[in-house]
Structure 1
Amino acid sequence: MKLPSNKILIALCMSGALASCSQSNQANQTVNPIDIWPSVKSAVTKDAAVEQKVASLLAKMTLEQKVAQMIQPELRFVSVEDMRKYGFGSILNGGGSFPDGNKQANVKDWVDLADSFYLAALDDSQDGIAIPSIWGTDGVHGHNNVYGATLFPHNIGLGAANNPELIKKVAEVIAKEVAETGIGWNFSPTVAVARDDRWGRAYESFSEDPAIVKSYAGKYVEGMQGEAGKNFLASDKVVSTAKHFLGDGGTVEGVDQGNNIDSEAELFRLHAQGYVTAIEAGVQTVMASFNTWHGKKMHGNKYLLTDVLKEKMGFDGLVVGDWNGHGQVKGCSNDKCAQAINAGVDILMVPEDWKALYFNTIAQVQSGEIALSRIDDAVTRILRVKYRMGAFDAKPSDRLHVPNKGAIGSISHKEIAQQAVRESLVLLKNNHNILPLKPNLNVLVAGDGADNIGKQNGGWTLTWQGTANVNSDFPNATSIYHGIKQTLEANGGQANLSLDASYTEKPDVAIVVFGENPYAEMQGDIKDGNLEYQAGVKTDLKLLRKLKSEGIPVVSVFLTGRPLWVNKELNASDAFVAAWLPGTEGGSIADVLFSELNGQIKHDFKGKLSFSWPAKPDQTILNVNDQNYKPLFAYGYGLDYNSNQMIPDLNEDLTIKSAAVADELTLFNQAPTLGFDFNLYSQNTKVAVNSNTVSLDAANSVTYKSFNRFVQEDAFELTWSGSQSAGIQLVNPAGFDFSEYAKANSSVSFDLRLQTPVSGQVVFNLATTQGQAFSVDLAKYINSSALGEWQTLNINLSCLNENSETFKQVSNIWSIESDQPNKLSVSKIRIVSNQASQDCP
């Protein structure tokens, strides 16, 4: 049989058509898949003086000191004294982590803590060496962990703007605000290319098209770090991170941390383009991804991390792991993973288990499981980045903070965020040219997103999932309603806010702001393959149809982290704007919706879809250039005020029929779902759980503290002081219909772990919007002898009340209360249908 020529063989390899691409017998030449990958020239070249400093310092370091440079604990689990003792190379603060657990920590709080860790690392009294520690943070759409920071549209909105120079300005602002808090390292940009809209991190992707991501990544890095030979890592710049390497946006079914099965050629063509321009721009760090490629975890993939990224692509910075990502590698745990280090991870992000990982890694080097040369390579890369960023030159308050005083939330930064909001808006429908609106109208502003700054910001905003935020958490921000109100009042118009669209005087027009509630990784995944917005609930559609039936023109402003099937909502709207997740400057949407009083356009719509919009709810994979590409609105679509396009009524009969009751309905797993939120409460006090550590009062009647059971913040610990009766409740004031679950013999199920024997009563409560309340003492369900072990409790709804209609509007689906000193942990709160037994204790 005649074998294919070498050129044809290479083509087949790159297309993924051949499973093995190692050799052409005919040509007797080896075809190496690594040739798919380019050699990339970084604008930041090695400096001989820096390399000499690195080599000199490395030669003085003990094994223990070297390993310490590779360990990155999280703020909540490491102290300044720990830093003084061990000299860790870096720390991070995760989403929702603040100095002293204070969500409203000010700039001084951040800077003082940064200085404390820095100086503790330099203290050589215990280990005889002085190497500064650096601090990393996830500033993915602004310095989003910091009270009062300027927050931009999430990446999906910035991608719709398709303006690389704007991206550079956005990154410059973020760098200055991060630097002002004394933090020198930002874990952004995300350069994922989301290919399945079920993925809960789709909004962190600039586009489904690698061309946009490629055009953005280098510009973002230049804005964040500065340009080589000009202002590279100057005092108003911070180290940038391209993430997550590699293929996180292309997993099967869009599952977060799932499996990417693209061929190697497709992996490069679709998912690596952002890394090419990021490395060219001199990015100093790359973060390894949680996902697998053909079943192998990226944190343990030596071929991609070392052979491809470091050697072929020439990346000379450091590779940092993601949150306990090393622990997911086969044969590893959070506290032990030679495989990840051997694969090329230089810094292990290990939030809690840092001490065990530190000692285990030392032992693995001593046993030969990890070569000392690999440790030396990792530490060389870490020190190289530290010297390049000037970490040895001065403490954070002098090096970063002082030159950037007043940066957080400054007017000039807000102006750039406002520009980003205006350019990100995509006009999907404008029948009869209802927009722009005159600013002297009587406008009804409705919908739960209208005056909700937390919702317009989405995930990765003050808290990890972006939940439990209220407007007062954003002192420098403007809600969408605020911008509308300000515009109308300045021009003789009137804005009336009514979340449920009620009114006394019929308005000229209604602007309805609605959309997805905040979510972040894992929690945002759509698991049933249905992109229909509010499937089975449709509360927002009812509101739109109510207004239409009353003869009121409707302008919809849709807040979303991805394209969703909204045919019904589009039909109920005269105009429809995809506003994505606009950030803290939501008020700027009014700049585009309204004209000048004389009708002159102030700001036209510029945004164009960087993600294709589905025509059917099952079009979860819909990307430009796909075969059989049939979107509702194609990639690049977006109307402006010169368009005269009428959108006819769309097919509404495409709803995916699903069972009325799922086998399991999640209520809490890392974050509450279904519009529910946690509150701590007593008879006289109620406090929202809006941080990872919250106490009800000064007496610590009840304290909440999140922790990791399986994954990040998927469990929480409750501690009662016994000073009064107090508890925690999972509440949704509007109520949620659980009646079908009650008919299906369902239970409220949750995992519980007792820390100490139960003292007195620990009471479970459930309540409805009609004021009906049901309680049961958990002592009937708890196995008190299983201290320290997780147990699953199932409280059958029929045991609380046999009438299923009672559960039509449940406002408090899960609550635990006690008046005695108690401590327990909770995880995986859910509704489980079709329980085997209806027996009640």
Structure 2
Amino acid sequence: MKETLLNPEIEARVDVILSMLSVQEKIGQLFQEKAECENLEELKSRIRAGRVVEGYGEDPYLTGQLGAAAVEGYQGSELQQMKQSKRVVACAKHFIGYGASEGGRDYETTEITEHSLRNAYMPPFREVLDRGCMTVMSSFNELNGETASGSHRLLTELLKEELGFAGFVVSDWAAVEELISHGIAANHREAARISLSAGMDMEMVTRCFLDSLESLLESGAVSAGRLDDAVRRVLRAKLMYGLFEDPYTPVEPEALEIHTSDLALARRAVAESAVLLKNRAATLPLQRSRGKTLLTGPLLHAQAPLLGTWSMDGQPDDVTTYQAAFAAEWGSEAYVTHDPALMDQGLAMAHNHKSNQIDQIVVFIGEDSSRGGEHFSVSDLSLPPGQVEYVESLAAIGLPLTVVITAGRPLLIERILRCADAVLYSFHGGVQAGPGVFDTLTGAHDPRGHLPITFPRATGQIPIYHNRKTTGRPWSNGYIDQVDQPSLAFGYGLSYTSFEVAELSVNASSYPCDAETVELSLRVSNTGPRAGKALIQFYAHDHVASLARPTRFLCHHLWVPLAAAESQVVQVRIPTKRLGFYNRQGELTIEPGQFTFYAGLDSNADLNASLELVGS
């Protein structure tokens, strides 16, 4: 989960670099998780799933915006020029409902209502397909009793017909053969028949298609028209990518050429996506003082964990550690550290801070990347054993304490938030993790990250997410042994300056339902000591609808750069279609009635203004 800020421009630029490096490696297609969001039913358990690290968060709008930017970065805007411009074919996955697995366990059963399927799971796919994504990967799971890789309704009726997808569908790893394990097919031949007939165009890894399609075609068990359609879809993608002009790749890929500008962009992405969760008494940015900084914690010298999941080809030695970044920027004389295997040494040095000339502490904690990724699910969201206690012991000493948490998912950090002076959350940053986090800690870059997913107070609080529905008794929805609020709200993130929003108003009290946009205005002010960039988030509430809707849902965002003490009135146009929902027939429905808009810095925004949509 690297996407902690709604910045499609950075997402697209990063993915341009990834596509170019992939072409150097003679890779022509990239698979990515990012068309599926962690939302609604998904959050009943999904935070515990290892693959939560691969997505864009819990919100359909967020996922769609950033997923579309990723497609733009990978494929470019001119599909006929992909290969010449060193771009690759993008693949949106997994279609569909994979994220709703029971208990957060990969490959498990999923149950999703028709309403949630169309309004939480399908919208991000609409966005990436509208941007021209050329391939889609089917999912492992069964959804409401139908296996996703063998369902005609999902692959043909919803994906190809309703969403108008003209590219090809590729199975996930061995998903066609796994129809046998699902109990849907008795053997490879049946698995091939069911999957191809459902709308699968390409099988990954296993040989069900290869071994059985010829005889299935001869017997009439599969139609020539369906087979022709599958072949045509695959050939069209190869033609557009230029494989008929240049079909061969070298036995050995050429050496990767990583430019200084590529590393600079990676460093900037790490710095700006770090999420500042607490900053008591302006502990951050760190200042290089006359004394020394104690650098400690189990992740201080880590390399492989910073690469994150799905990094089998990554080279840990290429990763600049947190400690190495401080050494390069401040010099080794500015800090003290200890044997990374002996945390008690760090505690002893902190207790003897006067003799060691220590005047501030930075501790690096979190989870190893082996606790995330496919089939690495957890039952408990706590930090690994001993880390919370270690931080609390350091906090008791009384020196300014900054905690950097590196993880791939939300963790239970209430005790850390209570005892630390500053807390920075950094998802896996890759080879530039150390320098990027250093830039944020020292103020070279302002932290601009905002949480893409709600942080619970306890594992048992799941599901907890920002776009919940009211139910008939909203006053009685909580647990008797837990506060009915998250630890940290969706969209939350601090800056080294401070912002205020005020004077939200609608430009007209009513708009027709078929209006292109609705227009609002508000004042955004920088009330802090330095320049900054505010992420203003807009949420909407539909007061009365024919189907139950969330109490509020993210419908727009706006970045506003402001100098210190500057104030601006900004005009906002929100597409009216974002206020609608999809009905059971898959039709976008925008109903008349009252809508309230909330504007602010996270999903708890309370500044509001209302308007009415009129007409049919």
TM-score when scaled to structure 2?
A: 0.71
Q: Which moved more, 1:365-374 or 1:389-398?
A: 389-398
* 1:251–1:259 contact (8 Å) kept in structure 2: yes
Which of the numbers 297, 321, 330 marks the counterpart of 1:447? 297
Q: Match of 2:236, as an amino acid?
A: R
2:365 equivalent in structure 1 = 514
Could you tell me which amino acid in structure 2 is paired with residue 344 of structure 1? G
Residue in 1 that maps onto 2:273: 424
The residue type paired with residue 165 of structure 1 is E
Matched, 1:604 2:457: no
Indicate yes or no: 2:412 matched with 1:570: no
Compared CA separation, residues 546 and 630, structure 1 to 2 (3 A): closer
Partner of 1:332: 185
- Aligned partners of 2:27 and 2:321: how far apart in 1? 28
Offset at residue 431 of structure 1 (A): 1.6
Q: 1:238 to 1:522 in 2, by over 3 A?
A: closer
Contact 1:563 1:612 (C-alpha < 8 Å) held by counterparts: yes
Aligned amino acid, residue 314 of structure 1:
G
Letter in 2 for 1:157: K
Deviation at 1:224, TM superposition (A): 0.4
CA RMSD of aligned residues (A): 2.6
Structure 1 or 2, whichever has the larger Rg, is 1
Q: Secondary structure at the match of 1:272?
A: helix
Partner SS, residue 585 of structure 1: helix
Match of 1:632 in 2: 487
Per-residue CA deviation, residues 179-222 of structure 1 (Å, 9 max, x unaligned), is 00111111125221113212221111111011111111221111
Q: Which amino acid aligns with 2:345?
A: S
User: For residue 286 of structure 2, what is the aligned residue in structure 1?
Assistant: 437
2:334 aligned to 482, 490, 493, which one? Answer: 493
Q: Is the 8 A contact 2:33 2:94 kept in 1?
A: no
Quote the offset at 1:362 in angstroms: 2.2
2-structure distance, mates of 1:333, 1:325? 14
Residue 411, structure 1, aligned to residue 263, structure 2:
no
CA gap of 1:333–1:324, structure 2 versus 1, over 3 A, is farther
Q: Which residue of 2 aligns with 1:797?
A: none
Question: Does the C-alpha gap of structure 1 residues 189 and 445 become closer, same or farther in structure 2, counting only changes over 3 Å?
Answer: same
Correspondence for 2:221: 369
Superposed displacement of residue 279, structure 1? 1.2
Partner Cα separation in structure 2 for residue 170 and residue 396 of structure 1 = 27
User: 1:309: Cα distance to partner?
Assistant: 1.1
Q: Deviations over 1:117-175 (max 9, x none)?
A: xxxxxxxxxxxxxxxxxxxxxxxxxxxxxxxxxxxxxxx222x1210111111110110
Q: Report the secondary structure of 1:584's partner residue.
A: helix
User: SS at the partner of 1:429?
Assistant: strand
CA contact (8 A) 2:105 2:377 kept: yes
Note if contact 1:256-1:521 (Cα within 8 Å) is conserved in structure 2. no
The 5 A counterparts of 1:22-61 are: none
Give the letter for the 2:382 counterpart: E
Asked whether the 8 Å contact 1:439–1:594 carries over to 2, the reply is no
Match of 1:215 among 56, 65, 90: 65
CA separation in 1, counterparts of 2:166 and 2:227?
15
In the alignment, what sits opposite 1:347? Answer: 202
Name the counterpart of 1:461. Answer: 311
Aligned 8 A contact 1:425 1:578 in 2: yes
1:309 counterpart = 2:141: no
Shift of 1:270: 0.8
Say whether 1:389 aligns with 2:236. Answer: no
Partner AA of 2:295 in structure 1: V
Q: Secondary structure at the match of 2:455?
A: coil
Deviation at 1:395, TM superposition (A): 4.3
Gap change, CA 1:556 and 1:616, over 3 Å in 2: same
Match of 2:394 in 1: 547
In structure 1, distance between residues paired with 2:255 and 2:336:
33
Inter-CA distance 171–396: structure 2 relative to 1 (3 Å threshold): farther
- Aligned partner of 2:130 in structure 1 is 280
Q: Hey, what's the Cα distance between the residues in 2 that align with 1:390 and 1:635?
A: 43
1:152-167 map, 5 Å: 156-158=1-3, 160-167=4-11
2-structure distance, mates of 1:576, 1:240: 36
| Greater mean alpha carbon deviation, residues 227-236 or residues 417-426 | 227-236
Once the two structures are superposed, residues 595-622 of structure 1 have per-residue CA deviations (whole angstroms, 9 ceiling, x without a partner) of 4xxxxx4211111111111123312221
* Shift in Å, 1:344: 0.7
Q: Which amino acid aligns with 1:394?
A: D
Q: Which secondary structure does the structure 2 equivalent of 1:187 belong to?
A: strand
Which deviations, in whole Å up to 9, do the C-alpha atoms of 1:449-499 show, x marking residues without a partner?
111111112211116xxxxx8xxx334331122112222218x62342443
Secondary structure (helix, strand or coil) at the match of 2:337 reads strand
Q: What's the counterpart of residue 560 of structure 1?
A: 407
Aligned partner letter, 2:36 = A
CA distance in 2, matches of 1:234, 1:169: 18
Structure 2 Cα separation of the partners of residues 175 and 593 of structure 1: 27
Corresponding letter in the other structure for 2:316: F
Report the Cα distance in structure 2 between the residues aligned to 1:501 and 1:507, rounded to whole angstroms. 16
Instruction: Go from structure 1 to structure 2 and tell me whether the alpha carbon gap of 1:459 and 1:229 turns closer, same or farther (over 3 Å shift).
Output: closer
Residues 488 and 567 (structure 1), Cα distance of their counterparts in 2 relative to 1, 3 Å cut: same
TM-fit CA distance, 1:235: 3.8
Contact 1:488 1:495 in 2 (8 A): no
Contact 1:246-1:288 at 8 Å conserved across structures: yes
TM-score (norm 1): 0.52
CA spacing shift, 1:506–1:339, aligned 2, 3 Å = farther
- The amino acid that maps onto 1:617 is T
Q: Is the contact made by 2:268 and 2:436 (CA closer than 8 Å) also made in structure 1? A: no
Question: Does structure 1 residue 502 correspond to structure 2 residue 345?
Answer: yes
Partner Cα distance (2:447, 2:61) in 1: 22
1:532 to 371, 382, 392: 382
Of 67, 71, 75, the match for 1:225: 75
Unaligned runs of 5+ in 1: 1-155, 464-468, 596-600, 646-841
> Quick one: percent identity of the two aligned structures?
27
1:616 to 448, 451, 458: 458
Query: Cα distance 1:639–1:501, how it changes in 2: closer, same or farther (>3 A)?
Result: farther
Deviation at 1:406, TM superposition (A): 6.8
Structure 1 residues 256-275: aligned runs within 5 Å: 256-275=106-125
- The answer to whether the 8 Å contact 1:248/1:257 transfers is yes
AA aligned opposite 1:494: Y
Spell out the pairing of 1:805-824 with structure 2 (5 A cutoff): none
Q: Is the Cα contact below 8 Å between 1:446 and 1:498 reproduced in 2?
A: no
Determine the C-alpha separation between the residues in 2 that align with 1:614 and 1:262.
22
> Residues 522 and 227 from structure 1, CA distance in 2 versus in 1: closer, same or farther, beyond 3 angstroms?
closer
Q: Aligned with 2:447: secondary structure? A: coil
- Counterpart in the other structure of 2:22: 178
